[in-house]
Structure formats: structure tokens, C-alpha cells
Amino acid sequence: MERIPDEVLKSDLRYLELLSLRFPSIASASTEIINLEAILNLPKGTEHFLADLHGEHEAFQHVLRNASGAIKRKVNEIFGDSLSWQEKKELCTLIYYPEQKLQLVREKTRDMDSWYRVTLDRLVQVCRNVSSKYTRSKVRKALPEEFSYIIQELLHESSADPNKQAYINVIISTIIDTWRADDFIITMCNLIQRLTIDSLHILGDIFDRGPGPHIILDILCNYHNFDIQWGNHDILWMGAAAGNDASMANVLRLAMRYANHSVLEDGYGINLLPLATFAMETYADDPCTSFGPRVEDAGTNIDGKTMRLLAQMHKAISVIQFKLEAAIIMRRPEFGMEDRLLLEHIDQKRGVFVLDGREYEMSSCFFPTVDPSDPYRLTPEEESVVSKLHDSFTRSEKLRKHVKCIFRYGCMYNICNSNLLFHASMPLNPDGSLKEIEILGRRYKGRDLLNRIGQLVRTAYFAENTVPEKAFALDYMWYLWCGKDSPAFDKSKMATFERYFLVDKEMHKEEKGAYYTLRNNEEICDRILDEFGVEGEHRHIINGHVPVKAAKGEKPVRANGKLMVIDGGFSKAYYSETGIAGYTLVYHSRGFQLVQHEPFSSTQKAIEEGQDIKSTTQLVELSSQRMLVKDTDKGKELMVQIEDLKKLLQAYRVGIIKERV
């Protein structure tokens, strides 16, 4: 070990003294150096990237359980032709859904003892394979205490060794004899799932459209290693939880649109009765034709009476939304969204929409709560509804828990192992230069812009009302949802009003920002990567937000491999548009693979019939050498720790710091 000058040790003395509290002797410091050096030479853990889950909890949960098909591939590699196709399918289903599968097995299997012996042996083989790239310490930390010792023995002792065969057999027999086989199998299956995915990256838009964003967040908030890059739908819910009424109205509108009111009522305890009562009374004579919920996307059966009520609630909250948004637009002229003040252009007497001297046909012109002389004023009844809903959103304990989890593990962007992750866009000028955005009198672009936005989002939720930026930050949360210069949106407008009320489909169009076309240029991607300080021979931008229309030949990998767009349409609402049902980008020690998923039937069919998600895998980028931990960001951290420990070791040896033993 190279000698470190004493003056260097003395300059770091305070830090080394603190480090000595954890490693109080030469022996303990040396042992940790040996351990860290060994870890550096293990294969890197497998990372999974998912985007735009949009509440599709069953598909998401299955993709986690089968590790995007990785577990099935490992089972095929391990057992080859020694097991039949049916036996391997049964084993995979057990690993994915151990509790439910065990119940089915018990109902149709006579000799459970024999089944337990065979199954435990197979699970040990699979677990041994998936744990091979980790240290024993990391595997041990993933184990529940009650089975930790037994699983370690089974993983690290081979029954092929004659001296150990009887020992292993007795362990398995005792597990069965003591009626712990089911619990042990469940633990093994969960361990296999956990070890197959080392880290999980969610590139935004957990909420809206699908029926279970709250279920997805229950899973994520207990997941072993994950991060979130906020999407505009996530920020919308965060804004609603922070008390932004316009965001709250948008959340409610989308729930009505996709018939996902149960997410609000059952998932988060939001009381929708005030809105329902108001809507039934106010729109009793309105067919609300444009506001019928999209039940074909929701995949739910709803009776006609409920459909009618949802349509009325949908229209009621939409009109309230337009008024609440107008209040923000008028008090924040710096947002530059005056063109979204649209209620004032309705000629209710003639039933037309008049803009810039041109008249547009309206599909409906029934606005009983819109006063033409003061179109953006809430009626007393609307104010009452908003007040009650505001209290319900801000007091929901479950929503508060989930939003805090999103804050704890989330941010506007992330840089991980030479990959730049953000949900949607990096605002650009038409010439490809970074676009400067003004916020509270200062101009920001690129990395500084996303950092500043991240600060504002946290201010909106966590700061006291006395903090000067609080009110602006709350309004900015709504802007991030639909503002033209929002990195989470970046379109000319969100044409909600036009789609509901204007017949002319030209008015429905939303022009995307420059990023969405320029990002296909490798030079532009390199410019953005340079801005964020992303280094490495193989560096990438990874995005979601805009569904890849695979059915029309669009490719997720662009800009000569520098950009990967992984929104493949998990949401049922996008199936017809994308032709597929989502992507998983997998980054393991040998390179990148893109897994393309077909629609998931149901959890019930996956358990009862062994129906897996049909997935196809394409190689995106293959490394010339297997990547090790030392090649990752984590490896760089460990190398710094090793250097610090070496300094501590020398400080002990030259007597600058005394050993504590």
C-alpha cells in the first residue's frame, strides 16, 4: 500500500477520528478494505427502467414478480431439458405468486411431502443462481431473520458433496416436518424476486388512467431499492396534496374521465359526495354527451345510472377546473398562458365559440354556472364543493404517505451509471440550444432549471405559509402539469377545453416543444449529456412521457443509441396507439436489453393458468467486457471509502490516531 504523507493525514484528522469510531482498530479497518475490494470485482447489479405506469398495477406487479422475463430465462438456463415445459411454467408461477400458487397446489396434490422436497430443491438452485453476483452479507440483509441461517446454509452448501448431503437433507426434512414448508417457500420466492432486480428506476407518471396507482405506490414504498423521476401526472397529484385547487380539479376530472373514482374514494378516502350532489342538481337537464367515461379503457363494467352520474361529475369538475386555472393565469402573467382563458370566448346565446374573429361550432353550450359578464367567478355552490374537496385532499393520510414517499425517493432527474433519466423533456430552442426559462425574475436552463424546479416543488409541499415563495410554488406546481415551458410537459397547450367543446379537430392539436424532434439528433443528446456532466464511453438519455407507436414502426432507441424512449404504453388507453403494452429497459453486467411486453391478461389467469406476460427481448447495447461494481457509480463511492480507510490504517500505524481496543 502506497504511503500517504503525514501532512495529508493531519489535514484529514477530524474526519479520520470520526471514521475510527466505526473502525476502531487496524484489524477492523483492514477487514473492511478487503471486503470492499472484493465487492468491486463482483458483476454490477441489474437495473430495471420503467416509465408511464399510469395506474396499471396488475401489469406492473407482474413485471416486478417475473423481473421482465428474467426469472423465466434463468429457470430455462438452470433446468434446460431436465424439466418439462409444464414443470418450468409451474415453477415460475410459484416464484411469481407463492401464496396463491401454494393454495392451488394443496387442493390438487396428494403427496405434499414429496412435492415440498422436489420444489425446495429447485428453488434453492434458482436462488443460488440469482444470488451468485452478490456478497453473502448483501444476501443475508435481504433475508427475514427467522429463516436467515437456514437459507444461508442451503445456498452455500452443496448436496452434491457427500459430506454435506445428509446435512442438507435433514434441513429440508425438518422444514417439512415442522410445518414451515409453506412459509419457507414463500420466503425463498420473494428472495428470488428481490435479488433478480437490484435497483428499479421509475421514469414518471405513476398516476391517472389505470385503476391502481395507490397499489403501485404501496408496492414501491416498501421496495428495496428504487427511485422516481417525477412526471407531470405525479406532480399534478403532489400539487393536489399540497393544496393547489386547480391541480385537485384536474385529478378529479381525469378520475371521472377514466371511471377511476374508486382510486379517490377507496384508495385515498376522498369524499366525492359533495361533487356528486352538486353535479346531479346542476346538470340534471344536460346529457353531458362529451363527458361519458372511457370505460373501454378502464376495463370495468359500469351500469347506466353510474355512467350518467360520472358524466355529470366529469362536466361539473371540468368547468370548475377552467375557472380555478383562470385564477392562476390571471395572477401569474409570467406564465404566459392568457391564451388558455377560454370561457370568455363562448357566445352562449348563439352557441358558438368566437376566437380572433372566427366562429367555431360547439358540441355543447350548456353552462349554467358560467356568467358571461364574469365567466371565471365560482358560484357559491362551486366554492362550497371546492372547499370540501380541498379539505379531503389535504387531510388524506394515505395520500400524504404516498406523496412523502414520492418526495423521498423522487426528483426531476437522476444521473446513474452514465445514464441521464428524466420523464419528458429538456426545453430547447429551435436551434438546439438550451432554452432559458424565467422563474421569479431569474433565468435558468438545463441542469440549473431542473434543480430550481425541484426546489420549488419541495417548497410548495413542505414550506410554511410564511415562506415568501410558497404561494408562487403552489401555482407553479399546476404550471408544471400543463405549461408550455414545463420540462414535465413541453407542449404548446393542453387542449382540454377544445376536446370537450369544439367540433373542429384542428383546435385539438397540441404542438410539441423542440426537444421532441431534436432529441433524435446525436449531437443534441451529447449537448444535453454534457450539460448534466454525464460521462462515460456509453452514455444515454432515458425518457418516457410520449408513447412509442411501435405498431407504426417507431423505434424506442434513437440518436445512434444515445436516447432510449421507454414509454411503450402500460396504460390500456394507449394499447391501440402503441400496439404493445409497455417496455422494460434492463441494464445488467453485459449491457442493455429492451423488453417489449404484450398486454397482460390478469393476475388470476397468471396464477390459475400460468399465463405469463408475453415479452420479446432485443439487445440494445452489448459491453465488450462484463461490467463490474467498480465500473459503476457505487464502485466510485466504494473506491473513495477504500482510500479513506487506507488513510485511517496508516494513521493507526504511525500513531497519529490511537486504536480503540
CA distance 599 to 615: 9
Does 154 share its domain with 31?
A: no
> What's the Rg (C-alpha) of the chain?
28
481, amino acid identity: W
Residue 190 has what pLDDT? 94
Phi, psi of 134 (to 5 degrees): -115, 160
Would you mind telling me the total number of residues written for the chain in this entry?
A: 661
Domain membership flag for residue 325:
no
Does 111 share its domain with 144?
A: yes
Q: What is the DSSP letter of 598?
A: P
| Whether the Cβ atoms of residue 9 and residue 651 lie closer than 8 Å to each other | yes
Domain membership flag for residue 608:
yes
Residue 553: pLDDT band (50, 70, 90) is: confident
Residue 337 CB neighbours (<10 A) = 20
Number of domains composing the chain? 2
Residues 105-123: tens digit of each pLDDT: 999 888 999 999 999 999 9
Does 199 share its domain with 119?
A: yes
State which H helix or E strand residue 404 sits in.
Answer: helix 397-409
Residue 300 has what pLDDT? 60
pLDDT > 90? residue 601: no
Domain membership flag for residue 27:
yes
Residue 160: pLDDT band (50, 70, 90) is: low
C-alpha cell, 304: 347506466
Domain membership flag for residue 402:
no
Residues 458-468: tens digit of each pLDDT: 999 999 999 99
Residues 138-158: tens digit of each pLDDT: 888 888 888 888 888 888 876
Residues 423-459: tens digit of each pLDDT: 999 999 999 999 999 999 999 999 999 999 999 999 9
Domain membership flag for residue 605:
yes
Residue 30 CB neighbours (<10 A) = 16
C-alpha cell, 289: 354527451
Q: What is the dihedral of CA 415, 439, 244, 220, to 10 degrees?
A: 0
Does 13 share its domain with 75?
A: no
Domain membership flag for residue 355:
no
Residue 568 has what pLDDT? 79
Does 32 share its domain with 116?
A: no
C-alpha cell, 123: 428453488
- What is the mean pLDDT of the segment spanning 622-646? 92
Domain membership flag for residue 649:
yes
Domain membership flag for residue 538:
no
C-alpha cell, 600: 397482460
pLDDT > 70? residue 2: no
Does 118 share its domain with 183?
A: yes
Does 86 share its domain with 184?
A: yes
Does 28 share its domain with 121?
A: no
Residue 8: pLDDT band (50, 70, 90) is: low
Does 21 share its domain with 72?
A: no
Residues 6+ apart with CB under 8 A from 379: 369
Does 187 share its domain with 58?
A: yes
State which H helix or E strand residue 143 sits in.
Answer: none
Phi, psi of 515 (to 5 degrees): -55, -40
Please work out, in degrees rounded to the nearest 5, the angle formed at the alpha carbon of residue 373 by the alpha carbons of 372 and 378: 75
Task: Specify the range with the lowest mean pLDDT, choosing from 284-298, 524-538, 605-619.
Answer: 605-619
- The span from the first CA to the last CA of the chain, in angstroms, equals 23
Does 12 share its domain with 115?
A: no
| Whole-number average pLDDT of the chain | 91
- In the three-class reduction of DSSP (H, G, I as helix; E, B as strand; rest coil), residue 350 is classed as coil
Does 20 share its domain with 128?
A: no
pLDDT > 80? residue 4: no
pLDDT > 90? residue 328: yes
C-alpha cell, 436: 432559458
- In the three-class reduction of DSSP (H, G, I as helix; E, B as strand; rest coil), residue 467 is classed as coil
Residue 225 has what pLDDT? 93
Phi, psi of 41 (to 5 degrees): -105, 15
Bigger pLDDT: 292 or 609?
292
Range of the domain at 563: 47-203+544-627
Bigger pLDDT: 362 or 600?
362
CA distance 371 to 376: 8
- What is the mean pLDDT of the segment spanning 181-209? 94
